[in-house]
Amino acid sequence: MSETTNYDVIVIGAGPGGYVAAIRAAQLGLKTACVDAFIGKEGKPALGGTCLNIGCIPSKALLDSSRQFHNLTHAFKDHGISADNARMDVPAMIARKDKIVKQFTGGISSLFKANKANPVTAIAGFATLKPGKVVSIKGHDGSVAEISAKNIILAPGSSPIELPFAKFDNQLILDNAGALDIESVPARLGVIGSGVIGLELGSVWRRLGSEVVILEALPEFLAAVDPDIAKAAAREFKKQGLDIKLGAKVSKTEIKGKQVVVTYTDASGEQTLTVDKLLVSVGRRAATGGLLAEGTGVQLDERGRVIVDEHCATGAEGVWAIGDCVRGPMLAHKASEEGIAVAELIAGLPGHVNLDTVPWVIYTEPEIAWVGKTEKELKDAGIPYKSGSFPFAAIGRAVAMGEPAGLVKILAHAETDRILGVHMCGANVSELIHEAVVAMEFHGSAEDLARICHAHPTLSEAVHEAALAVDKRAIHKAN
């Protein structure tokens, strides 16, 4: 590597934060390089970060394959469709997932070149920021090069938290990457952590026939989610056979032959659980190890995250940080929006991300989605609110689709009626939530949603009815 060029912008990390920032910077005429260390499944550098390689996209590919199989074996008979001897070809499912990943990671290389007048320079290797906005890059062949820029955007993302008593080997004890590449359906899958990854990937293997046992340390299920939504989802997960054990504190794991014996303590005392694979999904931490040399002026907080202000500025002149390595939710779309905002700020334009309207989605069945505040947050903040909810069981389209589970719940300010939070559980709520996001971005009220004509029959009628219910005037249920 003999790169010496100076850039306007160097982005460290090519995940949805970094690659989007790089594309936007190049669109704005800034000479941009994007350095990324990730090595894909084929042993070659791959752009796209966690999201495209071992996160959002591959997990959704497996969720969709497993959903199709589950519907074929469980739901289609209600529609009068029968298919005997349905079988799941797991290697074919994994190959489909890998093909999708390759399509999207390869697509970023093309997007980097798409702006012919000012393409993004992609550089493979591990980057360390040094004082003076110099970036030292260790190539995968061991070579070292230095480049510099007027602006640096740190976007190194995050990596899974490892428990000291359950070290990842990605054969028996798996992180998110390992759980996306299991070659055959394990008879019993253990999961530590009933958060987003545990529920999504646990659902994949449950639908394919695994017995799935999820051990969650907290006594409450989905503590960050609205309790009515969490309760409705828990009911459905139980019906699906996901065995979620709350208040289960794991203290030890032991490999015995081709199985893992997990020791945990719950209200009944010490228990053991023997599993064929164990997924550990207890959260992620900022991937800032080795990112910063001495003297850059960039500060990390107690959790290893880069400290930034509301505009993603680190306080060191010309150094910015975005995505999973900074405060706020660890979500791909939040990372991308921050990437765009920072590129625009560097170019002298206004750029801002409203963290209050970043939507969350958990892609289980039913899906869970929310935006804004929960009732607990409103109570804790002393904000007066009113609430309206509506079940999908009373929505014609949901019943016709065989998807009656779940509800929509809207929280609005008690005096101004402004929408403060919207919480959903049900089919396709990953799409429905955006009606709420738009309404909140425009400072809309529950009355605004209630007065908008929604097509019939659609799932979005549940949003309309929930908005009417805020004022106790839902039509298709008692208020």
- The residue at minimum Cβ distance from ligand FAD is 157
Is residue 330 near ligand NAD by the rule CB under 6 A? yes
Is residue 63 near ligand NAD by the rule CB under 6 A? no
The three-class DSSP label of residue 464 is helix
Cβ atoms of 6 and 147 closer than 8 Å = yes
| Site residues (vs ligand FAD, CB under 6 A) | 12-18, 35-38, 49-51, 55-56, 59, 126-127, 155-158, 176, 197, 287, 290-291, 323-324, 330-333, 335, 363
> How many residues are there in the chain?
479
Q: Residue 442 is encoded by which pair of tokens?
A: 């425009």
- Choose, by CB under 6 A, the member of 28, 218, 358, 452 that binds ligand NAD: 218
Q: Which does 333 bind (CB under 5 to 8 A by kind): ligand FAD, ligand NAD, none?
A: ligand FAD
Catalytic one of 140, 333, 456, 464: 456
Residues numbered 284-303 forming contacts with ligand NAD, rule: CB under 6 A: 284
Beta carbons within 8 Å of 121's beta carbon, 6+ residues apart:
5, 7, 32, 33, 34, 112
Distance CA 469, CA 466 (A): 5
CB of 457 to ligand FAD, least distance (A): 28
Among this protein's residues, is 456 annotated catalytic? yes
Beta carbons within 8 Å of 119's beta carbon, 6+ residues apart:
26, 112, 113
- Choose, by CB under 6 A, the member of 30, 149, 172, 197 that binds ligand NAD: 197
Distance CA 200, CA 281 (A): 11
Q: Which amino acid is at 86?
A: A
- Choose, by CB under 6 A, the member of 14, 137, 282, 419 that binds ligand NAD: 282
CB of 395 to ligand FAD, least distance (A): 25
CB of 468 to ligand NAD, least distance (A): 29
**H-run or E-run covering 9:** strand 6-12
Beta carbons within 8 Å of 82's beta carbon, 6+ residues apart:
76
Q: Which does 51 bind (CB under 5 to 8 A by kind): ligand NAD, ligand FAD, none?
A: ligand FAD
- Choose, by CB under 6 A, the member of 8, 200, 276, 435 that binds ligand NAD: 200
Between residues 12 and 342, which has the closer beta carbon with respect to ligand FAD? 12
Distance CA 163, CA 35 (A): 29
Is residue 217 near ligand NAD by the rule CB under 6 A? yes
Is residue 421 near ligand NAD by the rule CB under 6 A? no
CB of 14 to ligand FAD, least distance (A): 6
Distance CA 88, CA 115 (A): 42
Q: Residue 181 is encoded by which pair of tokens?
A: 């590449």
Q: Which does 467 bind (CB under 5 to 8 A by kind): ligand NAD, ligand FAD, none?
A: none
CB of 271 to ligand NAD, least distance (A): 13
Cβ atoms of 407 and 232 closer than 8 Å = yes
Per DSSP, 163 falls in state B
CB of 324 to ligand FAD, least distance (A): 4
Cβ atoms of 150 and 318 closer than 8 Å = yes
The maximal CA–CA distance of the chain, rounded, in angstroms, is 72
CB of 50 to ligand NAD, least distance (A): 8
- Choose, by CB under 6 A, the member of 32, 66, 128, 194 that binds ligand NAD: 194
Is residue 49 near ligand NAD by the rule CB under 6 A? no
Is residue 198 near ligand NAD by the rule CB under 6 A? yes
CB of 224 to ligand NAD, least distance (A): 8
Phi/psi of residue 73, each to 5°? Answer: -90, -20
Q: Which does 426 bind (CB under 5 to 8 A by kind): ligand FAD, ligand NAD, none?
A: none
**H-run or E-run covering 243:** strand 243-245
The CA–CA distances, whole Å, from 357 to 62, 293, 353, 383, 439 equal 28, 35, 9, 17, 10
Q: Residue 348 is encoded by which pair of tokens?
A: 């002298």
Interface mask toward ligand NAD for 352-391; x: CB under 6 A: ---------xxx----------------------------
- The residue at minimum Cβ distance from ligand NAD is 195
Cβ atoms within 10 Å of 434's Cβ, excluding its own: 12
Per DSSP, 437 falls in state H
Enumerate the active-site residues: 456
Instruction: List residues near ligand NAD by CB under 6 A.
Output: 163, 192-198, 200, 215-218, 250, 281-284, 329-331, 361-363
